[in-house]
Amino acid sequence: MARIGFFLRVFILGVWLAQMAQAQSCRHALVLALDVSGSVNSTEYAQQVNGLAAALNDPDVRSLILFSADAPIAVTVFEWSSRNHQFVIQPWISLDGPAALDRVIARIRSHQKVRAGLKTAIGTALSFGAVLLEEQEQCWQRTIDVSGDGTNNIGITPTEAYRTGAFDGITVNALVVNDPASTTIAGTSSSSEALKNYYEDEVIHGPLAFTMVANGYADYAAAMQRKLMRELSPPIFGELRD
């Protein structure tokens, strides 16, 4: 059933692309923002970076990304922490073929974190992502995909950032990384649920925005794979719930 669902996604994606390819040269501009604040240790950061690379290299994700060279996906990746730290790991690149995607995956895997500041400036990171997206106004969809394991504790809040009007036409989705030590056998702890609620109430933005949850950084690759599948599928699938 899972494979049937995937092929149905690809079929609808083909119809969708056929309708829009003549008008747009880029179907989706995707900003991937990685948390490198003080709560993320070296092991967890490696799991995050390698998890993103693994998710991008997943066969189903690759199929969605590379479906049409005529209307490709553009991607950029940066890490963020405090107000003074946003470091671009991968500048904008058009994923118009397997070689381009492979270069991005290799670059992400080889990156060593460059951390300046330990606090969590989500609002500032989102504003940085919006500035990056100004370079991709020709793309039919524009999305910021922000990962984080804590709440904003310095700088402007996400709500304040959204009041500027810079996010018109931009979707912000979130991958929330819970602390597995706070998750019981019976289910999600109150602290984990509170973090998820914070991202749903304060961080995500746009009518089809959603939150995906990873149970610790060891679960990051699987959660990011699910997130990318939902993010890069035609809009109708953005309304589905896992």
- Domain residue limits at 108: 2-234
How far apart CA 71 and CA 82 sit, in angstroms, is 35
Domain assignment present for residue 145? The answer is: yes
Domain assignment present for residue 95? The answer is: yes
Residues 6+ apart with CB under 8 A from 156: 121, 123, 124, 127
- Which of 143, 172, 176, 141 is CA-nearest to residue 159? 172
Angle between helices 42-56 and 220-232 (to 10 degrees): 40
pLDDT above 80 for 190? no
Domain assignment present for residue 203? The answer is: yes
Domain assignment present for residue 124? The answer is: yes
Domain assignment present for residue 15? The answer is: yes
Q: What is the domain-level CATH number for residue 153?
A: 3.40.50.410
Domain assignment present for residue 240? The answer is: no
Cβ pair 192, 183 in contact under 8 A? yes
Domain assignment present for residue 53? The answer is: yes
Residue 23 is predicted with a pLDDT of: 47
Count, residues in the chain:
242
Residue 204 corresponds to which tokens in the numbers above?
A: 């995500």
Residue 41 is predicted with a pLDDT of: 92
How far apart CA 5 and CA 106 sit, in angstroms, is 29
Q: What are 77's strand-pairing partners?
A: 32, 90
Domain assignment present for residue 191? The answer is: yes
* End-to-end CA gap in the chain: 15
pTM: 0.85
The residue type found at 192 is S
The number of distinct structural domains making up the chain is 1
Percent of residues, the chain, with pLDDT higher than 90: 74
Q: How many helices (H) and strands (E) does the chain have?
A: 8, 6
**CA-CA-CA-CA torsion sign (151, 155, 160, 161):** negative
Span 132-173, pLDDT tens digits: 999 999 999 999 999 999 999 999 999 999 999 999 999 999
